Amino acid sequence: MTGDGWTHDVIVIGSGFAGLSAASMLAERGRKVVVLEARNRLGGRATSFRDGMTGELVDNGQHVLFGCYRETRRFLTRIGAADRLRLQPQLDVTSIDESGRRTRLVCPPLYPPLNLLAGLLEWDALDFRDRCACFKLAGPLRLAKREMRGGAGVRAASTGETVTGWLVRHGQTRRLRELLWEPLALAALNQSPDVAAAPTFVRALALMSGTSPSDSAVALPARPLEEFYASPARSFIEAHGGEVRTGVTARVRTDGEQLHEVEADADRLRGPVVISAVPWFALTELFPSGPPLPLCSVCDAADATDSSPIATVNLWLDRPVIDRPFVGLPGRTMQWVFDKRLVFGNATSHLSLVASGAGAITGLSNRAIIELATDELCTALPAAGDAVVTRATVVREPRATFSLAPGQPARPGVETGLSGFLLAGDWIDTGLPGTIEGAVVSGHLAAEAALRLMVPHVGR
């Protein structure tokens, strides 16, 4: 775009974690930003809505963060919402296995990976053989950390290998895989470890066994997602002179191989930088006359990227049935149950049961999914059998995350061949899986790239 008639410094399309983190960083640095969001609410795939019957704010799915989500915590601190994240001091997870046995994995406050190894050695779910097997991952994890620091020629896992293949190659026993690695891989990758490629999982593991005992600790939003980050981000951007518009489907017009303008309903917006923070499945649609030449291969790859679903069942019961904020249910379709009252406080009263990599059930009726979730809950927690279900809802997110299966198209970088047009979103090549942290890392990278692009325009 030429410098004539600019309406904004940066136009950000999409108000998920990626768009809001990019916009808030730019607003903090004094840039005039506008965020355009097609839906009537903020947050994209991490959002909440009001339940019609109870009036409670309900998330589109439980979002779990980890202590190693450093860029996310930086974003939350910026927008004044860091106190809305409840971080365990160190990893502490209670699970109920398929036989109904309840165990607790607690890692002591030692430097990684000693904290994880000590926690696993003490975990009474494992026998002697399983415990010995844990040590076999110490070497590969060290290698993964070296690879992340840019160690030349170091590969902790190969791209054609699945997570299960990698775990078996490193001697992880069946019980360790079923009780620990499979639930972790499903939660982190939203895909069965038999299908997902190993490198992204290994990188996530290396981050979790990072530098502090809290890197592997679970962190939960203490408020519904709307209040956790979306509204605070909006207030921050507006307080710094920016705008956030909802219910506006943006379209990008190009002039040959140049950015021309962004259509936002009747408005025509112009600025030196546009950041697309839309998901892989919405990129091509940004260009009503087809993608410009420099973006054709990126759009083709985005269109060819598969998605992986998540299903959530929300159950309102007439009494509490669990005594901690979350419990793992390994080996079941619903892999985790969260008690939102223990997470959010008394303004909420439901349980959320989560099925990641939920391709096998998203085609079932709501009734069938609710029955499945209720059966699994009652089998794992017999106390739930005495409770009365007063309300039950299902939330399906068919395109919750992009597929990490071997053979998927390469993920693009932040910078593109179209001058002034940057990409953000969890699907950008950050090396991380489709997570909040991946989205925020990409948002911050895009904001930094935008600042670099604008340097020549300062003081215009």
Ligand X SMILES: Cc1cc2nc3c(=O)[nH]c(=O)nc-3n(C[C@H](O)[C@H](O)[C@H](O)COP(=O)(O)OP(=O)(O)OC[C@H]3O[C@@H](n4cnc5c(N)ncnc54)[C@H](O)[C@@H]3O)c2cc1C
Please report how close the Cβ of residue 114 comes to ligand X at its closest, in angstroms: 26
Residues in region 393-422 near ligand X by CB under 6 A: 397, 400-401
Give the helix/strand (H/E) hosting 94.
strand 92-96
Nearer to ligand X, 168 or 282 (CB): 282
Cα–Cα distance, 324 to 336 (Å, whole number): 12
Structure tokens, 159: 């791209």
Please report how close the Cβ of residue 102 comes to ligand X at its closest, in angstroms: 23
Using rule CB under 6 A, residue 46 touches ligand X: yes
Bridging pattern class, strands 218-221 and 65-66: antiparallel
Nearer to ligand X, 213 or 434 (CB): 434
Bridging pattern class, strands 258-264 and 102-106: unpaired
Using rule CB under 6 A, residue 430 touches ligand X: no
Bridging pattern class, strands 10-13 and 85-87: unpaired
Contacting range for ligand X; rule: CB under 6 A; set: 11-19, 173-181, 325-333, 377-385? 11-19
Cα–Cα distance, 351 to 342 (Å, whole number): 10
Instruction: Give the one residue of 8, 63, 145, 444 binding ligand X; rule: CB under 6 A.
Output: 63
Nearer to ligand X, 64 or 217 (CB): 64
Q: Does residue 201 sit in helix, strand or coil?
A: helix
Q: Does residue 261 sit in helix, strand or coil?
A: strand
Contacting range for ligand X; rule: CB under 6 A; set: 36-44, 81-89, 145-153, 160-168? 36-44
Using rule CB under 6 A, residue 15 touches ligand X: yes
Cα–Cα distance, 154 to 144 (Å, whole number): 8
The answer to whether residues 264 and 248 touch, using CB atoms and an 8 Å cutoff, is yes
Q: How many residues bind ligand X (CB under 6 A)?
A: 38
Instruction: Give the one residue of 29, 39, 136, 260 binding ligand X; rule: CB under 6 A.
Output: 39
Residues 274-313, one symbol each (x = binds ligand X by CB under 6 A, - = not), give ---xxx--x---x-----------------------x-x-
Please report how close the Cβ of residue 155 comes to ligand X at its closest, in angstroms: 25
Nearer to ligand X, 133 or 229 (CB): 229
**How does 392-408 read in b/e, with b if 16+ C-beta sit within 10 Å?**
bbbbbbebbbbbbbbee
Contacting range for ligand X; rule: CB under 6 A; set: 13-21, 49-57, 207-215, 288-296? 13-21
Structure tokens, 16: 């998920």
Residues 232-261, one symbol each (x = binds ligand X by CB under 6 A, - = not), give -----------------xx-----------
Using rule CB under 6 A, residue 201 touches ligand X: no
How many CB atoms are located within 10 Å of the residue 82 CB?
A: 15
Using rule CB under 6 A, residue 147 touches ligand X: no
Nearer to ligand X, 123 or 228 (CB): 228
Please report how close the Cβ of residue 192 comes to ligand X at its closest, in angstroms: 16
Contacting range for ligand X; rule: CB under 6 A; set: 41-49, 139-147, 213-221, 409-417? 41-49
Bridging pattern class, strands 33-36 and 243-245: parallel
Q: Given the structure tokens 């020629």, which residue do they identify?
A: 153
Using rule CB under 6 A, residue 193 touches ligand X: no
Give the helix/strand (H/E) hosting 422.
strand 421-423
Contacting range for ligand X; rule: CB under 6 A; set: 44-52, 103-111, 375-383, 408-416? 44-52
Please report how close the Cβ of residue 260 comes to ligand X at its closest, in angstroms: 16
Helices 70-78 and 436-454, packing angle to 10 deg: 70
Structure tokens, 118: 């000590």
Please report how close the Cβ of residue 48 comes to ligand X at its closest, in angstroms: 11
> Virtual CA dihedral for 123, 125, 130, 135, nearest 10 degrees?
-20
Please report how close the Cβ of residue 49 comes to ligand X at its closest, in angstroms: 12
Q: Which amino acid, one-letter code, is at 338? A: F
Instruction: Give the one residue of 269, 436, 441, 447 binding ligand X; rule: CB under 6 A.
Output: 436
Nearest CA-CA partner of 13 in 248, 216, 234, 231 = 248
Contacting range for ligand X; rule: CB under 6 A; set: 7-15, 163-171, 178-186, 298-306? 7-15
Give strand pairing partners of 326.
338
Cα–Cα distance, 269 to 255 (Å, whole number): 15
Please report how close the Cβ of residue 198 comes to ligand X at its closest, in angstroms: 19
Using rule CB under 6 A, residue 434 touches ligand X: yes
For the purposes of burial, counting CB atoms within 10 Å of the CB of 455, is it exposed (0-12), middle (13-18) or buried (19 or more)?
Answer: exposed
Residue 228 DSSP label: I
Using rule CB under 6 A, residue 358 touches ligand X: no
* Gyration radius (Cα) of the chain, Å: 22
Using rule CB under 6 A, residue 333 touches ligand X: no
* Residues binding ligand X (CB under 6 A): 13-19, 36-39, 44-46, 60-61, 63-65, 249-250, 277-279, 282, 286, 310, 312, 397, 400-401, 425-426, 434-437, 439
